[in-house]
């Protein structure tokens, strides 16, 4: 079970003067239960790639397969969207209902999964760390961090196998980022695969099994955090600056000493 992207190309406004090749020949894989981060400069194609993973966008060339289902097959699109949940960059792009309860119930109702809906809501509220008093509140009157939790909960309410998050830490302060990272780690350890779009290389290095670095719509490098650090040291990618701790690690490694890789989570400070 996995998401497989093969030679994906995406072109906006094809055949017009506004034509933009946002992704060119991208191949990558997200294993079931894994944590993959997509990093890169603004405009490198991260959001476009994220939107392909749940078939919100469809390939101009190449293919996207989710647990063997192809986004090329019209009748499979619904099943793919059921398996992959996408959390948009800004909660305001996603939230629409008058109450949190209504917001969280929308997905299960849409998929016809209304048995025990109260229990599902209680479970996801607990998972995202909000008490049940929030259910009757307006999502629009919550703080930025709380809105983001509701947006994540509304996607989790249909129990996707893969959770795609577009810049989940954008706009959060250090403690908000820390709490969000804790939340995502918990969701991941509960068995959901996480695909995180981020410009925050430090968080990506610290949490991911695998990182894909995009540059102008192509893959500049991909691999484990260790491989990405080594690759970025020998070939920098625009917009990705290695954290100081990684440079220290490289210094130690270059002197022939092996230490287990861990990018010190400075954001916890």
Q: Which residues are at the interface with ligand ADP (CB under 6 A)?
A: 12-13, 20, 22, 40, 42-48
Closest distance to ligand ADP from the beta carbon of 38 (Å): 8
Closest distance to ligand ADP from the beta carbon of 30 (Å): 17
Q: Which is nearer to ligand ADP, 48 or 161 (CB)?
A: 48
Closest distance to ligand ADP from the beta carbon of 116 (Å): 37
Structure-block tokens of residue 242: 């290695």
Q: Which is nearer to ligand ADP, 157 or 213 (CB)?
A: 213
Q: Are the C-beta atoms of residues 137 and 100 closer than 8 Å to each other? A: yes
Backbone angles phi, psi at 233, to 5 degrees: -70, -40
Paired with 196 in beta bridges are 37, 165
Residues 6+ apart with CB under 8 A from 247: none
Nearest CA to 198 among 169, 156, 228? 169
Closest distance to ligand ADP from the beta carbon of 220 (Å): 12
Closest distance to ligand ADP from the beta carbon of 190 (Å): 27
Q: Which is nearer to ligand ADP, 11 or 250 (CB)?
A: 11
Q: Is 168 helix (H, G, I), strand (E, B) or coil?
A: coil
Q: Which is nearer to ligand ADP, 107 or 217 (CB)?
A: 217
Q: How many angstroms separate the CA atoms of 166 and 45, rounded?
A: 12
Q: Which is nearer to ligand ADP, 57 or 125 (CB)?
A: 57
Q: Which is nearer to ligand ADP, 121 or 228 (CB)?
A: 228
Closest distance to ligand ADP from the beta carbon of 42 (Å): 4
Torsion sign over Cα 263, 39, 221, 185: positive
Burial class (CB in 10 A: 0-12, 13-18, 19+), 149: buried
Structure-block tokens of residue 172: 């959060």
Q: How many angstroms separate the CA atoms of 163 and 127, rounded?
A: 14
Radius of gyration, CA atoms only, the chain: 19
Q: How many angstroms separate the CA atoms of 102 and 87, rounded?
A: 17
Closest distance to ligand ADP from the beta carbon of 46 (Å): 4
Q: Which is nearer to ligand ADP, 46 or 177 (CB)?
A: 46
Q: How many angstroms separate the CA atoms of 22 and 150, rounded?
A: 30
């Amino acid at each position: 079970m996995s998401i497989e992207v093969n030679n994906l190309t995406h072109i906006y406004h094809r055949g017009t003067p506004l034509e933009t090749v946002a992704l060119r020949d991208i191949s990558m894989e997200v294993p079931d239960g894994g944590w993959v981060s997509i990093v890169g400069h603004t405009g490198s194609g991260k959001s476009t790639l994220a939107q392909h993973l749940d078939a919100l966008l469809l390939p101009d060339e190449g293919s996207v397969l989710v647990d063997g289902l192809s986004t090329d097959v019209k009748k499979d699109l619904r099943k793919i969207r059921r398996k992959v949940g996408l959390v948009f960059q800004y909660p305001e792009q996603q939230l629409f209902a008058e109450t949190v309860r209504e917001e969280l119930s929308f997905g299960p109702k849409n998929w016809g999964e209304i048995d025990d809906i109260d229990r599902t809501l209680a479970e996801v509220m607990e998972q995202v760390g909000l008490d049940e008093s929030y259910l009757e509140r307006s999502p629009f009157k919550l703080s930025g961090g709380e809105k983001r939790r509701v947006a994540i909960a509304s996607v989790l309410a249909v129990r996707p196998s893969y959770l795609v998050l577009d810049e989940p830490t954008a706009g959060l302060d250090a403690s908000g980022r820390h709490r969000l990272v804790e939340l995502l780690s918990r969701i991941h350890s509960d068995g959901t695969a996480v695909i995180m779009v981020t410009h925050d290389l430090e968080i990506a290095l610290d949490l991911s099994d695998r990182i894909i670095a995009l540059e102008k719509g192509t893959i500049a490098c991909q691999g484990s955090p260790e491989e990405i650090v080594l690759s970025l040291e020998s070939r920098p990618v625009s917009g990705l600056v290695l954290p100081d701790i990684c440079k220290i690690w490289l210094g130690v490694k270059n002197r022939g000493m092996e230490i287990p890789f861990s990018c010190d989570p400075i954001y916890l400070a």
